[in-house]
Amino acid sequence: MTKYLSDLKIGDQATIQGFDTSRVDDQEFAADLEDRLLEIGFEEGLAVEVLHKGSIGGDPLAVKIGTITLALRKMEAAAIILGESS
């Protein structure tokens, strides 16, 4: 079963394997989501750790990549495919 960034719990770590923007309902939104994710710092092969989640429905998420912290919505995190935890 494929795992996505949105599935992780606080404190979980994993490696980014790729992107699947077709998982986002809004196709227009999905169109340049991959580019946007890449631009802000999500990239294949990088280790990611979930640091915090919002109070309502665990949304949005704050994740650590290298030495930076990034915030994104669950819906956006659902498009990030994870590999085996490193």
Partner 1 sequence: MTALRAALIGAPNSGKSSLFNTLTGSHQKVANYPGITVERRSGTMTTDAGNDVYIVDLPGIYSLNDRSLDEKVSREVITGAHESEEKPEVLVCVINASNIRVHLRLVLELKSLGLPIIVALNMHDLATRDGIEIDVDRLSEELGMPVMTTIAVRSSGVKALKEYLNRDSSAYAKPMGQVSDISTRALQKEAGRITKLVTVKEGSHHKMTRILDSVALHPVAGPLVFFTMLFFMFQAVFSWAGAPMDGIEAGFAWLGEVVAAYIPEGIFRSFIQDGLIAGVGSVLVFLPQIIILFLFILVLEASGYMARAAFIMDKLMAKVGLNGRAFIPLLSSFACAIPGIMATRTIANHRDRMTTIMIAPLMTCSARLPVYTLLIAAFIPNDTVMGYFGLQGVVFFGLYMAGIVSAIIVAAVMKATITKGTLQPFLMELPKYQMPRFKHVFMELWQRVRAFLRRAGTIILYAAIALWALTLYPRAPENAPEADIYYSFAGMIGRALQHIFAPLGFNWEISIALVPGMAAREVAVSALGTVYALQGDEDQVAESLATVLQTAWPLSTALAFLAWFIYAPQCLATLATARRETNSWGWTGFMTAYLFGLAYLISFIVNITAKALMA
Q: Which residues bind partner 1 (CB under 8 A)?
A: 26, 28-29, 32-33, 35-41, 43, 51-57, 59-60, 62, 64, 66-73, 75-76
Do 63 and 76 contact (CB within 8 A), yes or no? no
Q: Percent helix, strand, coil in the chain (nearest 5)?
A: 25, 35, 40
SS3 of 75, please?
A: helix
Judged by beta carbon, residue 31 or residue 85, the one nearer partner 1 is: 31
Q: How far is the CB of 20 from partner 1 (least distance, A)?
A: 15
Minimum gap (Å) between residue 18 Cβ and partner 1 = 11
Closer residue to partner 1, CB minimum distance, 1 or 22 = 22
Q: Where are the alpha helices (DSSP H) in the chain?
A: 27-31, 33-40, 74-77
Provide, rounded to whole angstroms, the least separation between the CB of residue 1 and partner 1: 26
